[in-house]
Structure 1
Amino acid sequence: MDRNTILAIVLSVVVISVGLTIQTTFFAPDPVAVETQQTTSNVEAGAAPATVEQAESIPLSYAPTSNAWNSKLPGSFVQSGTAEKSQKFTYETDVFIVEFDPVGAAVSSLRLKDHLDDGQPVEMIFNNGDYPPAFSLYAGNDFSNPIDATFNYRINQDKVEFTQTFQMIGADGNPTDEQFTLVKTYRFGRSDYLFEITVEFTNSQNKAIPLNYDGFAYTLAFEPQLGPEFHEKPDGNYTYRKFYVEQDGKKSTPKLRDGAYETSDFITWTAIASKYFSLIGIPDATRYTLTLKEGISEDIPLESRIYFSRPAFKTATGKDTFRFYVGPQLKQHMAIYNDADQNGFGLSELHLEKALDTSSWLGWLESILKWLLQFFYGLVPNYGVAIIMVTILIKIFLQPFSKKSMQSTAKMQALGPQMEELKAKYKDNPTKLNQEMGELYKREKINPLGGCLPMLFQFPIFIALYGLLNKHFELRGAMFIPGWIEDLSLPESIINFAPLSLPLIGSDIRLLPILYGVSMIFSFKISQAGGATQSGMTGKFMMYGMPIMFFFILYNAPSGLLLYWMVMNFISIGQQIYMNKKRRRTQAQSESSTLSLRKVGKGKKK
């Protein structure tokens, strides 16, 4: 490598490293101090399905800011009923461990029993305690004003019911005789990843429920983020969050403006989708206003919030029903809500499986590759081995295209001397040069794009396989090699030197990116040995700059992805070595034949 090449690579790495160092040094998030207090709660007798355990009571750092709730201003309301218990408690089904908070009648934790993180049930609510708990209610559509009154609760088999009474504030700033009761009920299926929330209001007087704030009665929210927890954007697990909306049988990705999206049209459902899990909100037939919000805070990356705002009531009583799917992105758990006989709620034709995050135009190819991966896993119950076998099969399928590409490239290389002569001869006449080169290609029956076009067939497979290996649910927690690659959905690590953290690579030394980078450099060298030489800065950057760049880009890629690319590289290297040997053998035979002909010619002259 010459001085300019080295300088270009070093400067690129230095600029990125300095930028990240400045960000982590001077703009690091402040530590969050959380006080905890151990409390206990008792459950009334007869609540067989539920278990109540000792839980932490975390002081809430948010407070009401508007005049709708807990205020002395006219039109607001205050809690008038008492509450017997304020401690958090847990409720379990076959699939959920739910921690309820009577303060706000909300959910502070929701864990999935059958899916683990570090041996513990995975948490579906990413909240550090500085935000309202999930499924809180807001007065009107003021998203800064959670109703954090303390509710009474009782557990009755598959239901957890919260109740509280509120009193309206009159024009003189004093409580009036008008009261309303709020009943918020959670209903669970025994083995469903879907549950139901009903919100019921009853006015003490025979007139409309007195909740009307700019045309809205209340808002039900899921916030601030869908779990599992992560702390960078993007993190080492290539984490993301996406919004989807289902309307009139069509799934769409809403376009957020300034981090928000709002619609008052009827929707079937809305979803937050991540790599492996989804939250899907399914309202009833009321014309709610749906608001989606995203943002990036210091402690909750990629905030993803869903708000259902209910229009003001026109009657003395009102009852709304919402359903939420919170679980894995697996079709077998989502499609059961298309048939009323297959789920515990008698629901049908919801088509929640549309929330599966698949490639839009290559979903069919991704499904084929997934079937192959599962097939090989059935033969050898190791997903690492299955990925290698799928890679080999893909390489065999692409062999005719790869061979044609190499042959076309070899023909182009053979014309190198003639092309250089034409460039020297017509260096001052580009039009004539192009014409002569076209005639040369035509005479030698060579398509200049012959080396590139076959490669286009590989791109759809590459994109579909990238999508599959990046989010295939069964790879989550799947081990390949004990002690090294223990989770194919995560980057591997051979050395961890935390708490020390280096720019670009963090606190881990990873072997797969190193092997991948070395295989890229070796592949370029083998190609050059086969005659595919590139001179100057371009050739040197391709040989050294590209592998270094991809080393950092893919350093935190999931192990399954890097395993595929590395195996593909090694197979290509073996193929290129074979082609080089074959070419040299053919060239040696040709030279031997030419030498023999020359000797025969000389003999005849004698």
Structure 2
Amino acid sequence: MDNNRNLILAVLLSALLLFGWDYAMRTFYPEVETPTEAASAEDVPAERAENAIDAGDEVAPAELVDVETALAGGQRVPIDAPEIVGSINLVGARIDDIDLKTHRQSVERDSGPVRLFSPAGTAAQHYARFGWAGDGVATPGAQTVWRVLEGERLTQDTPVTLVWDNGQGLRFVTRFSIDDRYMLTVAQAVHNGGNGTVALRPYGFITRTSLSADPSNFNVHSGPIAANGDGVNFDWDYDEVDEERGASFGNGTDWVGFTDIYWLSAMIDGGGENAVGSVRPLGSSLYRAELLYDPVNVAAGATVGNTTRLFAGAKESSVLSDYQNAGVAGFNNAIDWGWFGIIVWPMWQLLIFLFGIVGNFGVAIICLTLIIRFLMFPVAQKQFTSMAQMRAVQPKMKALQERYKDDRVQLQQEMAKLYKEEKVNPLAGCLPIFLQIPIFFALYKVLRLAIEMRHQPFLYVKDLSAPDPAHILNLFGLLDFTPPGFLGIGILAVLLGVTMWLQFKLNPAAMDPMQQQIFMLMPWLMMFVMAPFAAGLLIYWITSNILTLAQQWFLYSRNPQLKAQMLKEKEEKAREAQRAKAEAG
């Protein structure tokens, strides 16, 4: 009767965990919503006018337009760099058209490049603009039409210079240049051809909608990001910016912008000025990251300049490290490595190294697993030694349990005394599990964040950073539907369950019937729980299970008495189960 009750309890707890896990995954990893609404003037908060540098281009039209329509209107200067293609809008001198050449939207070869920047008024509007603010003086704004002074196309070798004259003696010049990756340099200058001194304040901002942003959760940050002397700030998401009506990062901001899981747009203080970074809500899911410099006085006949760099691209670890080595403070930490960063970073470097040798990330993950298990082999030996010691004292433990079955306190004291006399540590066998936890989460973080893993194939899997696409319930794609949530069981999830079940079968049977029942359910429960995770993570776990089976076989061969005792106990338990069944019948 107790066994039946325990079994029912184990089933209920397993179901609770299974369905609870699915609910948690849908809560913390929601689907990205499709933008459906545009911003309008009446949606913008009243205090925006007081804080805005130039509010002219953040208010989108009442109805969204598609990107092709938006790009067709107005004059543009093409951008054609090794990693970036797009254009600069001469209206406002906005950088609002950027595609990433080497990153596709999906695993399909004809899916087209990832679009990072889009014009104002489109569903995924995301753009940057640089200018000057001043009281009582005409400065270039959102609707200012600039003239090309030099350059017809922005390339790595040919910069583009734009100019605008305010008709009051001030001549504004903006020079754009780009490197071979994702960094643009925006050099602003103003010449005062008038008679008096003019006070101006240079600035830059990035505006984007949150409707096209990746969801942010406890494990992966998406949203506003900034860096100053205290490090990289991941504290703010879009909802918190709304609640606090803005986030300020103070004087000495090194860079500020917006991050998704794989993409980053950020303005970098290019001249060492005492810049102030902030992020403001503009209403209707629009947000603006600002970099505001100290005011400057431009005397008659003088020219004053300011330089800001704009990163608009993929968060490739090696690229960010190169920029950091070139002076962009903390730039490699734009990837949110998290609490296990001390493990994640070297693990990622090792994985990249292995990938360079074997040429496939799936094989590299298997090689990484081999290395980890090799390093942990001494720990596994200690685990088996502890297991052998525990088995050796089990007859004495059973005697104590029979003697003190009605006195749990006394039983615990006698058990502790037995462990001390026999020099047995019952927790020693748990050490490998505790060591595996940070390694597992570190690899999960790597597979989740590293863009180098995105769209990497292995066997039939086209993207190791995505779940296994071969779902059993839709007959591996033959049926035209996608199983929901935890029911999306794939080949890798089944292999995970089978290898874990074999691993538990090879372990000595637990004394407690409740533990036995849980251990028998656990592999199939984990099969459902792990199915939605990245295929690369399942490959790691399956490989680890297979190596554990091989390792157990080897250690059993080195400790035949442990295997013999385990088989003897299993036979005794089988006889007891048959006897109990006969008595019940």
Instruction: State if a TM-score over 0.5 links the two structures.
Output: yes
Is there any run of 5+ residues in structure 2 with no aligned partner, and where? 58-72, 135-139, 152-157, 471-475, 569-585
- Aligned 8 A contact 1:209 1:314 in 2: yes
Partner of 2:367: 389
Report the Cα distance in structure 2 between the residues aligned to 1:77 and 1:463, rounded to whole angstroms: 44
Report the Cα distance in structure 2 between the residues aligned to 1:23 and 1:351, rounded to whole angstroms: 31
Partner of 1:135: 128
Partner of 1:54: none
Please say if 1:154 is aligned against 2:135.
Answer: no
Of residues 261, 269, 290, the one that matches 2:277 is 290
Report the Cα distance in structure 1 between the residues aligned to 2:356 and 2:182, rounded to whole angstroms: 27
Q: 1:310 to 1:140 in 2, by over 3 A?
A: same
Q: Which amino acid aligns with 2:291?
A: F
- Aligned 8 A contact 1:222 1:307 in 2: yes
Q: TM-score, normalised by structure 2?
A: 0.70
Partner of 1:400: 378
Partner of 2:290: 307
Report the Cα distance in structure 2 between the residues aligned to 1:312 and 1:244, rounded to whole angstroms: 25
Does the residue aligned with 1:113 lie in a helix, a strand or coil? strand
Q: Which amino acid aligns with 1:290?
A: G
Deviation at 1:162, TM superposition (A): 4.3
Q: How does 1:57-206 map to 2 (within 5 A)?
A: 62-63=40-41, 86-88=74-76, 90-118=78-106, 119=109, 120-125=112-117, 129-130=122-123, 133-136=126-129, 147-154=141-148, 156-157=150-151, 158-164=158-164, 182-189=172-179, 191-200=180-189, 206=195
Does the residue aligned with 2:98 lie in a helix, a strand or coil? strand
Does the residue aligned with 1:154 lie in a helix, a strand or coil? strand
Please say if 1:32 is aligned against 2:9.
Answer: no
Q: 1:218 to 1:503 in 2, by over 3 A?
A: farther
- Aligned 8 A contact 1:68 1:77 in 2: no
Report the Cα distance in structure 1 between the residues aligned to 2:518 and 2:513, rounded to whole angstroms: 10
Of residues 496, 504, 521, the one that matches 2:485 is 504
Q: Which amino acid aligns with 2:11?
A: I
Q: 1:443 to 1:321 in 2, by over 3 A?
A: same
Deviation at 1:465, TM superposition (A): 3.7
Deviation at 1:450, TM superposition (A): 1.9
Report the Cα distance in structure 1 between the residues aligned to 2:250 and 2:565, rounded to whole angstroms: 77
Q: 1:288 to 1:232 in 2, by over 3 A?
A: closer
Q: 1:277 to 1:15 in 2, by over 3 A?
A: closer
Report the Cα distance in structure 1 between the residues aligned to 2:353 and 2:252, rounded to whole angstroms: 42
Report the Cα distance in structure 2 between the residues aligned to 1:477 and 1:450, rounded to whole angstroms: 40
Report the Cα distance in structure 2 between the residues aligned to 1:231 and 1:437, rounded to whole angstroms: 53
Q: Which amino acid aligns with 1:154?
A: V
Report the Cα distance in structure 2 between the residues aligned to 1:22 and 1:357, rounded to whole angstroms: 23
Of residues 517, 532, 535, the one that matches 1:540 is 517
Report the Cα distance in structure 2 between the residues aligned to 1:322 and 1:375, rounded to whole angstroms: 34
Partner of 1:524: 504
Deviation at 1:522, TM superposition (A): 3.7
Partner of 2:583: none
Does the residue aligned with 2:117 lie in a helix, a strand or coil? coil
Report the Cα distance in structure 2 between the residues aligned to 1:517 and 1:510, rounded to whole angstroms: 11
CA offset digits 1:170-219 (Å, max 9, x no partner): xxxxxxxx686654442223x242111234456785456577xxxxx575
Report the Cα distance in structure 2 between the residues aligned to 1:397 and 1:564, rounded to whole angstroms: 15
CA offset digits 1:543-570 (Å, max 9, x no partner): 425752x445433322222211111112
Of residues 206, 209, 231, the one that matches 1:222 is 206
Report the Cα distance in structure 2 between the residues aligned to 1:568 and 1:109, rounded to whole angstroms: 45
The structure having more radius of gyration, on CA atoms, is 1
Please say if 1:326 is aligned against 2:312.
Answer: yes
- Aligned 8 A contact 2:35 2:123 in 1: no
Is there any run of 5+ residues in structure 1 with no aligned partner, and where? 34-59, 80-84, 168-177, 212-216, 340-347, 593-606
Report the Cα distance in structure 2 between the residues aligned to 1:296 and 1:78, rounded to whole angstroms: 14
Q: Which amino acid aligns with 2:89?
A: D
Report the Cα distance in structure 2 between the residues aligned to 1:22 and 1:193, rounded to whole angstroms: 33
Deviation at 1:324, TM superposition (A): 1.8
Partner of 1:266: 252
Report the Cα distance in structure 2 between the residues aligned to 1:574 and 1:582, rounded to whole angstroms: 13
Report the Cα distance in structure 1 between the residues aligned to 2:171 and 2:93, rounded to whole angstroms: 14
Deviation at 1:446, TM superposition (A): 1.0
- Aligned 8 A contact 1:180 1:202 in 2: yes
Q: Which amino acid aligns with 1:480?
A: F
Deviation at 1:149, TM superposition (A): 0.7
Q: TM-score, normalised by structure 1?
A: 0.68
Partner of 2:425: 447
Report the Cα distance in structure 1 between the residues aligned to 2:28 and 2:412, rounded to whole angstroms: 51
Does the residue aligned with 1:4 lie in a helix, a strand or coil? helix
Where is the helix percentage greater, Structure 1 or Structure 2? 2
Q: Which amino acid aligns with 1:515?
A: L
Identity across the alignment (%) = 22
Does the residue aligned with 2:267 lie in a helix, a strand or coil? strand
- Aligned 8 A contact 2:95 2:127 in 1: yes
- Aligned 8 A contact 2:298 2:304 in 1: yes
Does the residue aligned with 2:247 lie in a helix, a strand or coil? strand
Please say if 1:477 is aligned against 2:455.
Answer: yes
Once the two structures are overlaid, the 10-residue window that deviates more, 459-468 or 318-327, is 459-468
Deviation at 1:431, TM superposition (A): 4.7
Partner of 1:433: 411
Of residues 222, 236, 255, the one that matches 2:235 is 255
Give the aligned length. 515
Partner of 1:39: none
Q: 1:77 to 1:165 in 2, by over 3 A?
A: farther
- Aligned 8 A contact 1:96 1:111 in 2: yes
Partner of 1:573: 549
Q: 1:32 to 1:266 in 2, by over 3 A?
A: same
Report the Cα distance in structure 2 between the residues aligned to 1:500 and 1:231, rounded to whole angstroms: 24
Root-mean-square deviation (CA, aligned residues, Å) is: 5.0
Deviation at 1:337, TM superposition (A): 4.8
Q: Which amino acid aligns with 1:122?
A: V
CA offset digits 1:255-303 (Å, max 9, x no partner): 3493353133113334655554444421134433211469999xx8xx9
Deviation at 1:409, TM superposition (A): 2.6
- Aligned 8 A contact 1:241 1:304 in 2: no
- Aligned 8 A contact 2:252 2:274 in 1: yes
Once the two structures are overlaid, the 10-residue window that deviates more, 276-285 or 196-205, is 196-205
Q: How does 1:44-59 map to 2 (within 5 A)?
A: none
Report the Cα distance in structure 1 between the residues aligned to 2:131 and 2:481, rounded to whole angstroms: 43
- Aligned 8 A contact 1:413 1:532 in 2: no
Report the Cα distance in structure 2 between the residues aligned to 1:160 and 1:500, rounded to whole angstroms: 50
Q: Which amino acid aligns with 1:323?
A: R
